[in-house]
Amino acid sequence: MDVAVLGAGPLGRGVAQVCVLAGHDVSLQDAEANVVMDGIDVVERRLGDLEAADDLSMEAHHDALHRLDGTTGLDAAVAEAEVVVETALTDADEIQGVFAEVEDLTDRDTLVATGRPAVAVTAAAAGLRHPDRAVGLLFRDPLEAPLVEVVAAEQTTEETADRAVAFVEGIDRHPILVRDTPGVTTTRLALAQEVEAMRLVTDGVASVPSVDEALVLGFDAPVGPLERADRAGLDNRLATLEYLAESLGSRFEPPAVLEDLVAAGRTGAAAGEGFYVWENSEPQESALPEPDIPHREAGPDDPVR
- Domain boundary residue, one of 123, 145, 179: 179
- Angle at which helix 58-66 crosses helix 10-21, to 10 degrees, equals 120
Tens digit of each residue's pLDDT, the chain (305 residues): 999 999 999 999 999 999 999 999 999 999 999 999 999 999 999 999 999 999 999 999 999 999 999 999 999 999 999 999 999 988 889 999 999 999 999 999 999 999 987 788 999 999 999 999 999 999 988 998 899 999 999 999 999 999 999 999 999 999 999 999 988 898 899 999 999 999 999 999 999 999 999 999 999 999 999 999 999 999 999 999 998 999 899 999 999 999 999 999 999 999 999 999 999 999 999 999 999 887 777 666 655 55
> Do residues 169 and 208 share a domain?
no
213 shares its domain with 101: no
Please give the model's pTM, rounded to 2 decimal places. Answer: 0.84
Boundary-marking domain end, from 130, 152, 179: 179
Compute the distance between CA of residue 177 and CA of residue 185 in angstroms, rounded to an integer.
10
Residues 159 and 59 both lie in one domain: yes
- 305 belongs to a structural domain: no
Where is the domain boundary, 144, 179, 214?
Answer: 179
At 272, the amino acid letter reads G
Q: Is residue 291 part of a domain?
A: no
Residue 295 in domain: no
**In this structure, what CATH number is given to the domain that contains residue 112?**
3.40.50.720
Are 113 and 52 part of one and the same domain? yes
Q: What is the pLDDT of residue 305?
A: 54
CA–CA distance from 141 to each of 81, 223, 255, 290, 299 (Å)? 23, 14, 26, 32, 51
Residues in CB range of 121: below 8 A, 6 or more apart: 114, 134, 135, 136, 151, 152, 153, 156, 180
Same domain, yes or no: 30 and 67:
yes
Helix 234-248 vs helix 184-202: angle between axes, to the nearest 10 degrees? 110
CATH number at residue 241: 1.10.1040.10
Residues 166 and 205 in one domain: no
- Residue numbers of the domain that contains 216: 185-286
Q: How many domains does the chain have?
A: 2
In a domain, 14, yes or no: yes
Q: Check whether residue 164 and residue 202 sit in a common domain.
A: no
pLDDT at 9: 93
Q: CA dihedral in degrees (184, 187, 193, 198; nearest 10)? A: -120
Task: Give the model's pLDDT for residue 295.
Answer: 73
Whether 143 and 268 map to the same domain: the answer is: no
77 and 127 in a single domain? The answer is yes
The per-residue pLDDT for 302 is 58
Residue 304 placed within a domain: no
Q: Are residues 201 and 139 in the same domain?
A: no
Task: Let me know if residue 258 belongs to a domain.
Answer: yes
Domain membership flag for residue 292: no
**Does 165 lie in the same domain as 90?**
yes
Report angle CA 29, 31, 33 to the nearest 5 degrees: 80
Evaluate whether residue 299 is within a structural domain: no
Write down the H helix ranges in 156-253: 158-170, 184-202, 208-219, 225-232, 234-248
Q: Based on the domain organization, do 149 and 207 belong to the same domain?
A: no
